[in-house]
Amino acid sequence: MFKLVTLEDTIRIPPEKFGDPIEKVGHEQLRMKYEGMIDGELGYIVAVTDIDVNQIGKIMPGDGATYHKAEFSLLTFHPKIQEVIEGEVVEIADFGAFIRVGPIDALLHVSQLLDDYISYDEKQGILMGKETNRKLVTGDHVRVRVTAISLGRGGGSGKIGVTARQPFLGKIEWIRRDLEKMKRAEVKKEKSET
């Protein structure tokens, strides 16, 4: 889930940047500090926006820079357990597929793909169900449910585990076909009742 979070922080404006617009320098400083960071509470920090830097700063003894209070917004991505999200398959491996969800790739393990025996074709980069003949390849769009989240500490990497082994999850094409089958079965049932 994407969110906008408003925060306050003190930023350091180095002496070589004194002639530049303070909002621009503040934006640069905050981007360097926050963008790409992973925080346990905020999640993945995607971008710094809406910056308001106080024009009046403080000078610390022994440092020629000025320090200014700044209020800003962060665009964050923080997935939740059981959240249903859609993404694109960006890599296929023998153990599963990596799905791009927001700013990170989530792992869809082969055991969570289908209720079927899954084989991996390394040459073609395909995961395929033995009985269903359903194939998953790079570029496919899928709908998955978040089952595990591990956010790294202090800007480290995070991991997300997902599943597609529930009704109305999986490759979008499979979901459409299943819905069409259900509709046809419903129509057939209604006709047989009349």
The pLDDT assigned to 9 comes to 94
Strand segments (E) across 1-140: 2-13, 38-39, 43-53, 58-59, 66-77, 84-93, 96-101, 104-109, 118-121, 126-129, 135-137
Q: Quote the pTM value.
A: 0.76
The pLDDT assigned to 143 comes to 95
* Per-residue pLDDT at 154 exceeds 60: no
* Per-residue pLDDT at 63 exceeds 90: no
User: Comparing C-alpha atoms, which of 76, 51, 86, 54 is closest to residue 67?
Assistant: 54
The pLDDT assigned to 156 comes to 55
Answer whether 45's CB lies under 8 Å from 38's CB.
Answer: yes
Domain with CATH 2.40.50.140 in the chain: 84-188
The pLDDT assigned to 81 comes to 93
Domain with CATH 3.30.1490.120 in the chain: 2-77
The pLDDT assigned to 90 comes to 95
Digit-coded pLDDT (tens) for 109-148: 999 999 889 999 989 999 999 999 999 999 999 999 999 9
> What is the percent of the chain with per-residue pLDDT over 90, rounded to a whole number?
60
Superfamily (CATH H level) for 2-77: RNA polymerase Rpb7-like, N-terminal domain (3.30.1490.120)
Superfamily (CATH H level) for 84-188: Nucleic acid-binding proteins (2.40.50.140)
